[in-house]
Structures are given as structure tokens and as C-alpha cells.
Amino acid sequence: MAPSKLQEWFPWTKAPVIINGPMIGVACPKLAAEVSKAGGIGFISCVVNVEQGSPEVTRAHDDLAAVRQHLGQNAATDDDDNGVVRAGMGCITGHASVGQFAETVVVPVMAAQRPAALWLFAPDGAVRPHARIIAAVRAHFEGSGSSGGYRPRVFVQVGNVAAAREAVRDGADVVVCQGVDAGGHQFRRGAGVISLVPEVRRMLTDEFADRDVALVAAGGIVNGKGVAAALALGADGVVMGTRFTVADESTYPDFRKAQVLQTTDGGSSTFKSPFNDQINNSTLWGPLYDGRAIVSEIHDKFMAGATLEECQAALKQVSPPEEAVKLINTWAGTGVGLVKTGGPAGQIVEDVRRETRETIESLIGLI
């Protein structure tokens, strides 16, 4: 496989480049480190609240330090990496505190820990903070003589071509083209990777030929066959979420891991809807976004015609209360039916990479 921009920017990676999504409640320092050790790009969990004094900001700093420790990197003496930790951090940018991002994250966290990448997703439709965030990152590090050549690459997660175009105009280095088969949160109105990835690739070629922008595919990709398909569509690498939820290092609760491993027929056993947030009264995700989760009897009740209020009342009646928790918020994509084993995150990366190569080699005989 020809080297991609990702391999140039992240020199420890191997083709095809496999990335774990920065999933809240799943990604952690150990998982990110093991993905990067195996030649992928590991991400710690996203930060949401970035206001002054937020414990999430402190956690991001500490998590990056923990990744460095797991990888055996030393910020002061690791000349090969220029002090850069071989992993990334993320931020959900729809929270009201996002205006403080430069002061609370760029300077104290990114400058101290030097993550290789920053992932941005889910801005509020009216605020649109990504251009300011990316400009702040570039101004601080590219304009600083003390940065020593450090330049974090910025990933922006999108769900349609218009959002991809906006992300590149904002200054993104990598557009994460997330198809609607994805688990967890995503654009309400989007497309599957089979049409989204090639159309965004064409847009990048036609409109941004003078820019070095990488494209990675996400959504429904859980094995080497999916990776091979994404590469054929024009992706430089892939993001997997559901596949890593069941990794040994994942912090997904055991009962959720069991649900992922036991679920089949992902198209009918998962449900993409604002209902998955409304049932919890979550206000984080704005009107542009919804989420896909594994179906339970509460979802069946809603799809049969019950109101949201009736479903919330039914959930409150579940006893004991810990059983109610098991009925909602097990985020998974439509590829969940293909996820049948867990194992170490690094082994998952290596297995998927091997299967990708085998799949591509087997296809040669068909042409």
C-alpha cells in the first residue's frame, strides 16, 4: 500500500492506519497506548466541559501523561518524537464552555503533554467554534519558538459533504467522514460511507488541490473487509469504535461489552434516533445530532408508538434501578453483529490489518 499523509504525519503508524474513536466511557490511556503501539493512532476519551477548573481538563492532562508512561516515552529526553506523545485527545465542541478552549486546553494541556492530534466534533450550529480553535492551536504552536517544531494535527469529524468542506476551510488536517452506520453520536442527516467517502474525496480534489488534507472513514467498520472497502472508496485510514468497545482495555462496563458481543443483525438491533438522548434528558447534543444504540424493550416500546414521557416513566419503574441502566446507552453501530470477540486492543489492530491485506489480495483474482 502506498504511504498516506497519515503515515508521514504519524511516523510510528503502519498501513492501513487504524484509529480508535475518542469515545467517552470507552477510550482510556491504556487503550490509546496499545492502539498506537500496534501502529495505529490511539485517542483518549473526549473532553466536554473545558471551563476553568474543570476536572475533565485535568483528566485529559493526566490521561495523556499516562499514555506517555504506557508507551515508555519521556517528554524531556525523547528526541525521536520531539517530545510528542504518540496519541491524540478530543473535544466535544457543543458545550457552552468551548469559548475557553484556548486558555484551558491549548496552553496548559496541549503545550505540556504535546498530543500528536486533536479531534473536534459536534459544534453547536450557531456557535461554530472550530475555526477559532484551530487558529488558536496554530498560533500558539507554529508561532512559538519554544514549540520545537511541534504541530498537532487536527481531526474534524463530519457527516456530510458540506460539513467536510467547512472543516477544511476551518483548517482541519484530517476529515473524519462518519457514515450513518456508526454507533454513538453522529449527524442526524448524513450518508453511509459508501457514498460519503468518495464524494468528500472528490470535493477535496476539486476544491482543495493545494491543501494536504487526509480523509479517514468511520461508521460500521469493524473488520478487515470493511477497512479494505474504505480504502477502495478513497480513505487514507479508518476509525473503529464499536470494535474497540469490547477490547480488554476498554472502560465500557462488562454488561455493555456482553451486549455488544451478543447482538446480531445490527441494522435491526440498533436504533439511530434523538430518542437515545431524550430518554436521559441529555442536553449536550444539539439538533444537528443524534445517536445509535442497541435496542432494548424501552426502544421497542417507543417504536411501537409510546410517547417519550411514557417510556421515561416505564424506565423509572424498572427494578432494581441498576437494571434500568442496562436498557439504554449501549452505543454501537450496525457492524455490531460482526463483533464476536474482544481481546487486547493491539491484537485487534494487528488482526484487522492482516485481514485487510488478505481481503485485498483475494480481490485481485476477481479482475
Query: Does an H or E element contain 211, and which?
Result: none
Length of the chain: 367
Residues 95 and 284 sit within 8 Å (Cβ to Cβ): yes
3-class DSSP state of 28: coil
Q: What sign results for the dihedral spanned by CA atoms 77, 82, 83, 84?
A: negative
- In 37-111, DSSP assigns E strands to 42-43, 85-92
Residue 185 annotated as catalytic:
yes
Q: Of 54, 51, 79, 17, which Cα lies nearest the Cα of 240?
A: 17
Name every residue whose Cβ is closer than 8 Å to that of residue 234 and which is 6 or more positions away in sequence.
Answer: 197, 198, 200, 201, 215
Residues 183 and 242 sit within 8 Å (Cβ to Cβ): yes
Q: How far apart are the first and last CA of the chain?
A: 18
Report cis status (omega within 30 of 0) of the bond before 287: no
Q: What sign results for the dihedral spanned by CA atoms 116, 214, 160, 337?
A: negative
Alpha-helical regions (H) of 127-217: 130-142, 161-170, 193-207
- Burial-class residue 242 by CB neighbours within 10 Å (0-12, 13-18, 19+): buried
Q: How many helices (H) and strands (E) does the chain have?
A: 17, 11
**Which listed residue (61, 95, 185, 299) is catalytic?**
185
d(CA 34, CA 345): 6
Alpha-helical regions (H) of 152-307: 161-170, 193-207, 224-233, 242-245, 254-262, 266-269, 275-278, 297-303
Active site residues: 185
